[in-house]
Structure 1
Amino acid sequence: MRVTEKGQVTIPKNVRSNLGIEAGSEVEFVLREGEAVLRLIKPSRDQVDRDVRELIDHLRRHQGSMSLGEMSGEEFYRLLRD
């Protein structure tokens, strides 16, 4: 695995899958005896509750404001299901 000039590496898919890392996940490196250990940071229950409340507030503020253009609501839902 090669490190970029910015110090970036790609986490292999099998490592991401085993650790439950997905887009938007928070991770940290812990140094132990000359090694770096990658760990997934799981959000606290309080943080999850805040994020959920924030999402609900956002959805309420924008309720009914989406324009589908020429598409009917039924066509839009069909598009989501397919």
Structure 2
Amino acid sequence: MGQSGQAVSIIGGPLAAVMSTPLRLVTTNVYGMVATAVGVYCASRYAADIGMRRDVMKVCAEDLTTRLTTGLLQVVEPSLAVLPPTVS
């Protein structure tokens, strides 16, 4: 079952707070703590999002441009279930 970055972000907030606590020695004011917490939160979101994507693969930029020019680029979209309209 796939997970989204939004679901993982529930962990990111508390993790950012816990990881930024030891940095109080480095940051002496509130603004430094906020900046540190935001940085850790963004880093955890980035790591979680990249780690959760199983439907992508890494492609070199040169290979991507070659595929675009030759028409070999294939975009695969997930199939969505079509729900019948409800009658009220």
- Report the TM-score, using the length of structure 1 for normalisation: 0.28
Q: Name which structure has the greater RCO, CA cutoff 8 Å, separation 6+.
A: 2
Kindly indicate which of the two structures has a greater share of residues assigned to strand.
1
Kindly indicate which of the two structures has a greater share of residues assigned to helix.
2
